[in-house]
Structure 1
Amino acid sequence: MIMKPSARPGFSQATLFVVLASVIYALIGNTFFQLAYRYSAAIDEAYIVFAVTSAVYALPVIVWFRRKYWYFALFIPVIWVPMLVVTGYLMGVIFPLPEDDSGGGVLLLFVHGLNLAAVIIGVALGLTVNAAIAAWRKFSRD
């Protein structure tokens, strides 16, 4: 007997968390791009921002993906890409940038490449912490 995905407890919640985390990470990435475009000081500290966002991106994974559907967190970088495009378009409508600036495109690739790496490292770090917590609980009972 095949169950509908909505009939499985926790399935829809895990899916919602994947989409929610992807949207939040995309908004953070696009906000940093807007800041880096307007203020050069933001780009000077890009690697510090990378380290901090990697750690911050791990926190929702640690909290939201401890249960049965922990592997759904692996979909965050995949869903992040279309969410980045959508939120980037919306932020471009609200905060438009000049169209004739080719340096902005290079900056866009740099910032979002760095942010993609932070998302992947954050997810991996969060899943590693969850695995360590699960192992600690399992072996401390014995």
Structure 2
Amino acid sequence: MKRLVKNFITAIAGLFVLTLTACKDGVPTSTDDMYMKQIKESYGFKPGILDSMDWFLLIGGTAVTVVTVAAFIFWLFKLLLRLASIQRGKATLKDEVFWKRMGISLLIIVFVMSSVIFTFLENFWEMIHSLATGGS
């Protein structure tokens, strides 16, 4: 589990660094131009394809909203159950594993609910789109 979390954090950090270093002040560097030229030659990327996928993105966004609200309600339910069991003396307040798991899950739920993750992905997509279309 620790290795999975470490790999996930490394992947997110790598995407963040890639987003920051791909362009300098909005202008691709010469190395970036070379790589993008090779990518354009290798893969026929058509950014207009996603414009016709708006209906799918709307349905997907609705599904993600419903799932995150359900996850938050489940998280709150688990927290209230734990507090009730602590009050009855069946569980301890010093259960570090439980609190770490609840903290990480709340952080993920809040990131998805507040669209922070999707903002990073959108910025990454916009950067790739502008590089693929020549900065337009």
In which range does the TM-score fall when normalised by the shorter chain?
Answer: 0.3 to 0.5
Which structure exhibits the higher relative contact order, with contacts defined as CA atoms closer than 8 Å and separated by 6 or more residues?
A: 1
* TM-score, normalisation: structure 1: 0.37
* TM-score, normalisation: structure 2: 0.38
Larger Rg: 2
